[in-house]
Amino acid sequence: MAASDTNRAINAVFRIEQAKLIAGLARIVRDVGIAEELAQDALVTALERWPQTGIPGNPGAWLMAAGKHRAIDRIRRAKMLERKHQELGREMEIEQELSMPDLDRAMDNEVGDDLLRLMFTACHPSLSTEARVALTLRLLGGLTTEEIARAFLVPEATVAQRIVRAKRTLAEKQVPFEVPRGPDLAERLSSVLEVIYLVFNEGYSATAGNDWMRPQLCEEALRLGRILAELAPQEPEVHGLVSLMELQFSRFRARTDAKGDPILLMDQNRALWDQLLIRRGLAALERADQVADSLNRAPGPYLVQAAIAAYHAQARRAEETDWQQIAVLYAVLVNITPSPIVELNRAVAVAMSEGPAAGLVLADALMNEPSLKNYHLLPGVRGDFLFKLGRLEEARAEFERAADLTKNARERAVLAARAAACSRTS
């Protein structure tokens, strides 16, 4: 194998193993920033040795051992006297692990717990939302700073700064590398789920730029969600989120036309919906329900949203959608997580089940909501209701306002076309 081919293979292996490697090292050094540096050191060592020796049979275990040797070297070089005993204890812990007769099996047994700890650490509430997203994609997703910046349409320097500050904050606050217990678990788990769903949504409906969707982000969020579901099988909301993402992503091929312009849900060719993802989503929803029932827990917001997505997925034709049940579920969701955006979604469901006039009443009630002042979907939804009611001039004004507010070029073009259609019809 040529050197360039070997290097590509090594980089591919490292990308697969990176999250597990950082997680395992972070458990030992108690610092995700240092753990990432040690992982990079292990990669450099692999790039130096593997072209001569060949890629080992278990490259993940090899990289982990290399990283742990680097950790020992780092600890031995530490000169801070007050940390001497603490560092000595860590050195002994690492050497004990390296001396295990079956290092591969030991690493496999620990990797799940380590990954779970890394998720909770990267999504710690002390970090800003943007920092949590960037750090999660960097440490757990294996995305480069450049890839994250490109996905979110922000300068690479901005992403790099967020990641550096996040690592510094975790170190300064001495955030423990652990899975929270007791009353802290629900809040911390909510933070992890929020980050995963934010990544998914940015891929599913890009807030800015020229592309309507960025599938890489959806796929990465799904991968993280599936991992989390295996690591936390007794958390119904985890399965609910996985179900929601599977069911929504099943529509991927039908959401844009040949030019890349958006196709609304009711106009999509449902034959293009991915039936495998739908089956997986429905199975995850059933699992979420079963776990919730066994724990005697009321459905959480992700489980309810997944149930809504399931009604869409199970309707073979748009006109077969059970909008009445969807409206009921949105009412439940409003009670669980009161939000103007959820109220707006409920208005759409009510309009579909009871008529546009009923939906317009609910949408009008949100007109003075400060958080929706610059939210393009409010005038977009109102424009749709007004168009269906034959109030075309008002509809045109709403579509034009929505087009001005959106930052996504594809969506802006669709809204401008709908505004023009109002003028032609009138």
CB distance 148 to 137 below 8 Å: yes
Instruction: Return the C-alpha torsion angle 251, 253, 256, 259, nearest 10.
Output: 180
CB distance 123 to 238 below 8 Å: no
Rg (CA), the chain: 25
The per-residue pLDDT for 103 is 44
Residue 388: CB atoms within 10 Å: 15
CB distance 154 to 133 below 8 Å: no
CB distance 297 to 288 below 8 Å: no
Q: Which residues pair with 262 in a beta bridge?
A: 256
Q: Which residues does 196 contact at the CB level (< 8 Å), separation at least 6?
A: 136, 221, 224, 225, 228, 241
CB distance 132 to 140 below 8 Å: no
Report angle CA 83, 85, 89 to the nearest 5 degrees.
115
Q: Which residues pair with 292 in a beta bridge?
A: none
Q: Which residues pair with 5 in a beta bridge?
A: none
The per-residue pLDDT for 93 is 57
Where do the domains of the chain lie? 1-109, 233-313
Q: φ and ψ at 299, to 5 degrees?
A: -60, 140
Q: φ and ψ at 167, to 5 degrees?
A: -60, -40
Q: φ and ψ at 229, to 5 degrees?
A: -65, -35
Q: φ and ψ at 408, to 5 degrees?
A: -95, 125
The per-residue pLDDT for 81 is 43
Report the C-alpha gap between 14 and 213 in whole angstroms: 27
Q: φ and ψ at 189, to 5 degrees?
A: -65, -40
CB distance 295 to 236 below 8 Å: yes
The per-residue pLDDT for 107 is 44
The enclosing H or E element of 222 equals helix 215-231
The per-residue pLDDT for 209 is 61
CB distance 106 to 97 below 8 Å: yes
CA 152 to chain centre: 13
Report the C-alpha gap between 67 and 39 in whole angstroms: 6
- Token pair for 127: 């970090």
Letter string b/e over residues 201-218, b meaning 16 or more CB atoms within 10 A of that residue's CB: bbbbbbeeeeebbbeebb
Residue 228: CB atoms within 10 Å: 23
Report angle CA 140, 200, 344 to the nearest 5 degrees.
145
The per-residue pLDDT for 215 is 84
- Token pair for 38: 């040690």
Note the residue count of the chain.
Answer: 426
- Token pair for 179: 């899975």
Burial label for 332, CB within 10 Å (0-12, 13-18, 19+), is middle
Report the C-alpha gap between 74 and 162 in whole angstroms: 25
Residue 409: CB atoms within 10 Å: 15
| Owner of token pair 């007769």 | 101
* Low-confidence residues of the chain: pLDDT under 50: 79-82, 85, 88, 102-109
